[in-house]
Structure 1
Amino acid sequence: MKRRKATLTAAAAGTVAGVVGLGLLALPTSASSAPSLPPVGAEQLVESVLREQPPAMGGTVKVDNALGLPAIPGVPEGSALLGGGETRVWLDGHGRGRAQIASSGREQTIVHDGTTTWRWDSSSRTAVRSTHPDAKKPEGTVDPSAAARQLISTIRSSSTVAVDGTARVANRDAYELVLTPAPSERTVLREVRVAVDAEKRVPLRVTVLANGSSDPVLQAGFTELAFGEQDAGLFKFEPPAGATVKDDERKPDRNAAKDHPKPKIVGDGWDTAVVVDLPKGKERGEQDPLAMVKQLGKPVEGAYGRGWLISTKVGSALVTESGRAALGAVPEQVLVEALGSTR
């Protein structure tokens, strides 16, 4: 549970990785008239969403956001990294799946066949292979509805939960499930609305709204969707001729664990903050995390010393010059308190 909270909070904090994590959580509002459906209780709807497993289905997920991210040097506007564009997804209902993301002439494909995950990048013509002997699909790899289920599971206990009418999403009838922070929660978010398929109980749309704004700050989800058996060939991957094939060699490293302690969770629910230590310098050829923070953030000072604050409409990240970072869908003061309580 703590790991799920850390994942969702980091996403809401507005870091680049977080934007990708939340990118598959919501969908544009449909102009179709609201369908007439049998009444359903809020808790009954929540339980059915968490209980049901994703059936075989295929569709298109469209992502839009108004996160207010600062410009990222070297990253073009509209990049898939910022959560924009469309993704085609297919699930077989038995743990296998496929996702294809196209943007700016580049296509990224993720295929999970039950024991192996392939990640293909057409721009570099590189295929990265990850093997999972336990046959479990890596969480959130290709199923966009999984993120919505995870979000509901994490914040339901600290929320007022209600069913607010119905909607028509991707030509499907749906109930509108609304989760609002309890009065005791300190968060920049006002509410999360989840459109749940009336028949299949699959999340079709999640709309994230922040305080001080009447418009959604993050929207994505299915614009078209069909349930039913999918072509088995979609869940197989053969690297194209001439492609570079690499094995994902990321494995648990005891020495690395000593250098990078596990994230600390402060609080719970909507005002959860995650405190982590950033990796020192460059790792695996990637950019120095602290250098990127300096490019993105606003210089700040406090009891923690000097640091940088990265703010978006759905949360913030506060990083100190010593490399400690606090993330959350919360105001800056909550992050300051989190840093102080985990010294």
Structure 2
Amino acid sequence: MALRSRRPLVSVIVGVFLGFTAASWLVVPRVVEISVKNRRSSVCTYYSSGRAQAKVLDTAHSTSSTIGRHKHLQPLFSSQEGSDEGEEELYRTGNSSGPVPPASFLYVGVMTAQKYLATRAVAAYRTWTPNIPGRVEFFSSEGSEKVPLPIPMPVIPLTGVDDSYPPQKKSFMMLKYMHDHYLDKYEWFMRADDDVYIRGEKLELFLRSLNSSKPLYLGQTGLGTTEELGKLALEPGENFCMGGPGMIFSREVLRRMVPHIGSCLREMYTTHEDVEIGRCVRRFGGTQCVWSYEVTSSCGIWVERVKVHTLRVCSVQICLNLLLYLLFCFK
């Protein structure tokens, strides 16, 4: 009887052992294959060397602009003096424009309001902004330079813009500011909210696999809610990038679209800022928000936003609405 009672237990143990063994034979070769492909990828090799991240962290501060409070501040990153051509070859990407060092790669404009400057904006500035391969500035309404802040921050008060919601005019004027001041200085431009967290290293890894000289408009694709279907003036097949997770524009999209922002502001069909930005990009930029399968096939995986309801600036573990760009390069 004892022998019979042990047989089921022995069978389970043997079955589990054989199952793990078979799984290891199937999974390990695939992992090794992926690792080899990653090492062969120019983008992944760029990061595996560790020199790119060191370059970002070691860059010095340069002089600041003279707009509003920002005239007293310095950029987060700048290129090192005396860097030779061989060193800049480290940053060569798929772009036809040639080497792009981290200090000149990505510009992030964070939309905020006066009532959030000392909380959300400060939290973002202290956490994820140092990991952005380029420059981050915070855009608020006219008069924001008078708001007292606990730390110096690059705040851009937009003339003639208030903090009304939805922030359609603020968003368009921020894009115009990017175009007028930085179009030839950065490859990519991002519009972000003040309650997101951006994984700068992952985002850079993904963007370096794309060509900023092409009209690309990246983000989480939106079509509107069920109740809004047919009410957003979208034709079949048209979409927009949702504002919450952030919108990314290639240099070429801004170059095409921004000169026509006046027309876009005069001809809005909804109160949704992200819908109207998408409409303007589609009308004058010659493209629309990429569908999720297009992003996945390019180089990585887009992961949705994780909501956190509280935000504490004083705590080391600051709670933010997390935008996790977990972008893995499998080529």
TM-score by length of 1: 0.23
Which structure is larger by alpha-carbon Rg, 1 or 2? 2
Q: Which has the higher strand share?
A: 1
Q: Which has the higher helix share?
A: 2
Higher relative contact order (CA 8 A, sep 6+): 1
TM-score by length of 2: 0.24
